[in-house]
């Protein structure tokens, strides 16, 4: 009797409770579970946006890998960068208005960092995708209409490019199309293959 093919040498765990990252990882058609990483996401004093994204992605993957040493763990974090200043998740309407006003007519860089860990095998790999987003000039009425329609208060940069937020933009430049949504799948697939996962 022929053994069934298993593309996963170990359990796969997403170190995140983000519905956006969960939906993206599901596109790879691999079974996985999610575990909340319980990581303090407070920036360090003077920490650059890119460094913050990398540190938090690694911290999330490491925290869950310690709980599940036999698993392949994927951690990710995204930080919006406006002239070297990190823009986090707005959390509420007033802060989202302030973020969109600040980004109006400007280019914002989104750093989406990725870390894959497996303690039992010793595998550890990191990468980051940088997405340049050009916002069009936004007046207050446009900002208000958008925020009331989509309420993107849990998104870095206060806009969902996969939804109505695309209408706020003039251009997106990236070599990993899903990075702006929250998980760079080209890089994720590459690092998972490095961990021994079989993908198409």
Counting Cβ atoms within 10 Å, is residue 134 exposed (0-12), middle (13-18) or buried (19+)? middle
Range 12-194 classified under CATH 3.90.950.10: yes
**Confidence check: pLDDT of 92 > 70:** yes
- Among this protein's residues, is 127 annotated catalytic? no
Residues 6+ apart with CB under 8 A from 163: 150, 152
Task: Output the pLDDT for position 1.
Answer: 45
Which run of H or E residues covers position 128?
A: strand 123-135
Catalytic residue among 62, 77, 81, 176: 77
Cβ distance 156 to 179 under 8 Å? Answer: no
Model confidence pTM above 0.85: yes
Model confidence over 23-61: pLDDT tens digits?
A: 999 999 999 999 999 999 889 999 999 999 999 999 999
Model confidence over 132-179: pLDDT tens digits?
A: 999 999 999 999 999 999 999 998 889 999 999 999 999 999 999 999
């Amino acid at each position: 009797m022929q053994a069934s093919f298993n593309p996963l040498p170990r359990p796969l765990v997403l170190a995140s409770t983000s519905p956006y990252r969960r939906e993206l990882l599901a596109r790879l058609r691999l079974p996985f579970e999610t575990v909340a990483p319980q990581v303090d996401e407070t920036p360090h004093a003077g920490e650059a946006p890119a460094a913050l994204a990398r540190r938090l992605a690694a911290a999330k993957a490491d925290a869950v890998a310690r709980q599940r040493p036999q698993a392949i763990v994927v951690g990710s974090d995204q930080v919006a960068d406006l002239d070297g200043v990190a823009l986090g998740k707005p959390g509420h309407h007033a802060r989202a208005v302030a973020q969109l006003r600040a980004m109006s007519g400007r280019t914002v860089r989104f750093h989406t960092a990725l870390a894959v860990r497996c303690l039992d095998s010793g595998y550890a790999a990191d990468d980051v995708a940088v997405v340049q987003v050009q916002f069009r000039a936004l007046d207050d009425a446009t900002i208000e209409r958008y925020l009331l329609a989509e309420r993107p208060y849990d998104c870095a940069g206060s806009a969902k490019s996969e939804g109505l937020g695309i209408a706020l933009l003039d251009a997106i430049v990236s070599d990993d199309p899903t990075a702006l949504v929250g998980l760079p799948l080209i890089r994720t697939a590459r690092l998972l293959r490095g961990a021994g996962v079989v993908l198409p």
